[in-house]
Amino acid sequence: GNSVTQMEGPVTLSEEAFLTINCTYTATGYPSLFWYVQYPGEGLQLLLKATKADDKGSNKGFEATYRKETTSFHLEKGSVQVSDSAVYFCALSRATGGFKTIFGAGTRLFVKA
Amino acid sequence: DGGITQSPKYLFRKEGQNVTLSCEQNLNHDAMYWYRQDPGQGLRLIYYSQIVNDFQKGDIAEGYSVSREKKESFPLTVTSAQKNPTAFYLCASSPPGTGLGTEAFFGQGTRLTVV
């Protein structure tokens, strides 16, 4: 079946450090891939997405590239800020037997000033 | 402004009582979803609905029920049969069709505590 695996957290970084959060997926066919962000006590917001192989999604300094050969969609940011502290979810969706989004377990990021 | 509204934000109930969580959207989305989130864990799908008057069980439907009488509304009832109901509940919707890159839009969540 379809699934998403992301690196366990929490990840703790100092401000301006480089961020990588790993995400790999298992799916048949060609899913769309997403990163969502959740701030404390809130729902999820879409951060970026990619719909086909080699697409790069980017937003607010974050980026991720859809790598079909390695079934990965790693999230990166060159210089994190304290305000980036949140939980990040990798997800996939495809329309088979009902349109559903499948989420990874989430990775909590703490950024220290 | 368009969006998804969940209410209430915090809900307390006694053990053994049924409770209904509200989810309303004005985005004209066909599909709506309910997820459960436990501390330090990802989202697990409870129920989803692709169209009015139709819904399907997700991965953890036991102890929950839903209805979809209107396109805008998808209420979730947590019944007394749900063994561990204390959790953060998230409602989401997605636009019509099944096109690539169709994202889910989330409400702010309801934190249910059963005492």
pLDDT averaged over every residue in chain B: 91
pLDDT above 80 (res B3) = yes
Strands (E) located in A1-73: 3-6, 11-14, 19-21, 23-26, 32-38, 44-50, 56-59, 62-65
Task: Give which of A6, A73, A92, A103 to mutate to test B binding, by max B Cβ within 10 Å.
Answer: A103
pLDDT above 90 (res B78) = yes
Q: Which residues of chain A have pLDDT under 70?
A: 95-99
pLDDT band for position B99 (50/70/90)? low
A-chain residue closest to B99, CA distance = A95
- What is the reported pLDDT for B97? 60
- What is the reported pLDDT for A97? 46
Which two three-digit tokens encode residue A48? 């970026």
Q: Cβ separation of B98 and A44 shorter than 8 Å?
A: no
For B8-62, write each residue's pLDDT tens digit. 999 999 998 999 999 999 999 988 999 999 987 788 999 999 889 999 999 899 9
- What is the reported pLDDT for B40? 73
| Chain A with chain B: Cβ pairs closer than 8 A | 65
DSSP B44: E
- What is the reported pLDDT for B95? 81
